Structure 1
Amino acid sequence: MSVISECIGRQGLGGIYFLHGEDEFRKEEAVKELINTHLDRETRDFNLDIIRASEVDLEHLARTVSTPPMLSEWRVVVVQGVQHLAGTAKSRDIILDLIESTLPGLVLVFSGTVPKGSKAKFYSSLKDKSRVIQFDPIRSDDIPGWLMEQSVERFDIEVDAEAARAMADAVGSDLGVLSQELEKLAVLASGEKSIKKSHVIEVGITLSSQNRWQWFDLVGTRNFEQAIRTLPALLSQGETGVGLTIGLSTHFLRIGLVLEGGVASLESLLPPRQKWLARQVVSQAKRWSKEEICSSLVNLLRVDRLLKASTLSDQHHLEEWLLTLRFQKDPVC
């Protein structure tokens, strides 16, 4: 369920919305959902106004917001780039007055970006009177989960974890591009149970020979030889020793959580878009002891220090750590 659906489920249709944050794609998708939820196609032309705050005349904005719905229960007014109205006392006062005196049947949507560190009263007043939804950029580790979520919500088809990770690694964090590619994949895999990595290849997305998530799984399943063989390719694709060390530490801490407190302990701490990882981590945890995980994490801390201070290559330090794991006996933490 989308954040807009959840919000309407809690507070009902209509209302004033303040959509802010740096993720422009998800803000735009939220605006589209609000429009589609409140307006039908037959009367949309009479009841929808999309206004750019940087270009609007304030009197025109006031007239637009004061116009009642025509042949419809709802009227939607979208004000894009609302931060452009925060600069003068006059524009601030007009916006806040409009909020206080909105007509029945009006859906007023403010969309914009609050400047970092801003303590302007305009934004706090806007938040106090609105249904506030913040759209921060999705972290790279959350993108596979976002793809799985979007595929089910929009196309009613699942994406295999391997396919989602391959897409995220190949395409990057541009949600607009990812969304377009996901739509192509949904058409290609129509009639099948899920979108697989083979579909990602078939649709023409160029995949790297190795991605960081696959590599962490190699280490987690104790396939150290393959991890050593593929490490140079991973580093040549732009990964850094410090970045991989941080990722490995997170991966091993999760395995440790399973060993210490079971799957419930891990699931309670995984971010919402990474819950799907639990089954995978549980499977890998069966190959490790608590002592091995503890020793591995202590050695990773040493690797991190060496990477930041030594003149030797990132590959050298990570290979040394992997070889230590492969041949260690009776680890002591």
Structure 2
Amino acid sequence: MATGKSRGASRKSGTGPVPAAGAGDAAPVQLLYGEDEYLVAESSRALVNRLCPPADQAFGLEIVEGRVDNAAEAVSAIRRCMEGVRTVGFLGGRKVVWLKDANFFSTSVTSEAQDTKAAAEQLVELIRAGLPPGQVLVISAGKVDRRSAFFKACQSAGHVQEFSVPDKDYLLDQHARETATAAFRKAGLIARGDVIDEFTDRTGADSRQIIQEVEKLSTYLGDRRDVTAQDVRAVVCATREAGVFDLAEAVGNRKVEGALGTLRQLMYQGENAVGLIIGLESLFRELIVFRECMDRRWLRLRRDGARVSAEWASSKEADAVLGAMPKDPRSMHWFRAAKLAGQAENFTSGELARLQAVVLKMHETMFSSSLPMEMLMEFLVLKLLGREAIRAANAER
């Protein structure tokens, strides 16, 4: 998890439980925002408790509710916040004003209303001018328009922390593992990489769910600190919805049971079968490229404990071939590249070409067959990963 600096911005991907105290706590303006609502809420509460200990909050803390339904309520919240900042603390002591869960700093109907804009401009001027001595303004919010004068004023005058959630499936997978690993470490639990994978397969990437399930595990284990896959299966609730990327990952890892289970869950969730098969076509195109690069020694996997990375060799031939492709695989995010390289290791070039043809053939069959889409997709998974596929792969090798 990244750490921030005062008078600047710290971008967090929500990787882990609530951050510890840092130099940023000294800033008079604190903005915590992002799509990871749980980490925003927990981090804001922890920050407020550090700035104003619970024993002092009766007189030293003023909370202004920022979750509003219309422009009039937004204006009222902003004005109460400004009044709180301008009011001296009890006996001249330190005072913290917390504008909590504000939802009018993004691009919405409420935030775009003229009255809201005018009130927000006044708040910006107050922040720019500097808060009175001993006053601290904490603002927690969901989405915030990073182009706005409000964001820039907070960034310039205080400390900004973002708790974001990746928008791509493969990055979301990494995000979940990092969050879970940090939560396990904070709870004093020890788990191997495969146990973390099983854990996140059940929880998904929701920070609240991850941290709550880690707490359940810790209670279940008692004095024991080593977590096994059996412990995870016994205690952790399976709440995660499958994503299209999960099916591709199971196929790439040649896990027939996992692929079938994920496929059935996706179909139950209402995913379009044609979209799923297009995703598999894309997977095999990428695996063919990665397998070819590995065979030509332009690419190799490097393993350092649990961390796996893809290393590209410097080669004029590789530059000429890969640089001419519509999407140069060397520009791919390192985590995604390592995933694909690891999956490409599971196949020969001949296998990948044959299996790609199977996927393309099934795509054509979908438009002429009278069988249900669910059954056609299950047939496809079995043709790709079932016993016949294994026998054919062994014969090729």
The reply to whether TM is greater than 0.5 is yes
- 2:201 maps to 169
- 2:42 maps to 29
Counterpart CA distance in 2 for 1:21 and 1:60 is 23
- 2:142 maps to 113
- 2:382 maps to 319
Counterpart CA distance in 2 for 1:150 and 1:129 is 32
From the superposition, tell whether residues 69 and 115 of structure 1 become closer, same or farther in structure 2 (CA, over 3 Å): closer
For 1:1-333, list aligned pairs within 5 A.
1=1, 3=3, 7=10, 9=22, 11=24, 13-53=26-66, 54=68, 56=76, 58-68=78-88, 75-84=95-104, 86=111, 87=113, 88=115, 89-100=117-128, 101-114=130-143, 121-138=149-166, 139=169, 140-141=172-173, 142-152=175-185, 154-203=186-235, 205=237, 227=256, 231-238=259-266, 242-243=275-276, 246=279, 249=283, 252=287, 256=291, 260-264=298-302, 265-266=309-310, 288-289=347-348, 291-292=349-350, 295=353, 298-299=356-357, 302=360, 306=364, 311=369, 313-322=376-385, 323-324=388-389, 326-328=391-393
Amino acid at match of 1:316: F
Counterpart CA distance in 1 for 2:225 and 2:96 is 38
From the superposition, tell whether residues 206 and 19 of structure 1 become closer, same or farther in structure 2 (CA, over 3 Å): closer
Number of aligned residues:
320
Q: 2:187–2:218: 8 Å Cα contact kept in structure 1?
A: yes
Q: 2:127–2:153: 8 Å Cα contact kept in structure 1?
A: no
- Structure 1 unpaired stretches of 5+: none
Any idea what the Cα deviations from partners look like across 1:134-187, whole Å, max 9, x if unmatched?
3333554232332122221x3122344444333433344443233222111122
TM-score (norm 1): 0.70
Q: Specify the SS of the correspondent of 1:63.
A: helix
State the superposition RMSD in angstroms: 4.7
Structure 1 residue 25: Cα displacement: 1.0
Structure 1 residue 325: Cα displacement: 6.4
Counterpart CA distance in 2 for 1:76 and 1:303 is 65
Any idea what the Cα deviations from partners look like across 1:2-61, whole Å, max 9, x if unmatched?
656995756562232332332211211220232233333432333222211335455532
Counterpart CA distance in 1 for 2:207 and 2:24 is 28
From the superposition, tell whether residues 271 and 190 of structure 1 become closer, same or farther in structure 2 (CA, over 3 Å): farther
Q: 1:4–1:30: 8 Å Cα contact kept in structure 2?
A: no
Q: Specify the SS of the correspondent of 1:45.
A: helix
Q: Specify the SS of the correspondent of 2:161.
A: strand
**Identity within the alignment, %:** 17
Q: Specify the SS of the correspondent of 1:263.
A: strand
Counterpart CA distance in 1 for 2:288 and 2:40 is 34
Counterpart CA distance in 2 for 1:104 and 1:308 is 70
Amino acid at match of 2:237: I
Q: 1:163–1:196: 8 Å Cα contact kept in structure 2?
A: yes
The answer to which structure, 1 or 2, has the higher relative contact order (CA under 8 A, 6+ apart) is: 2
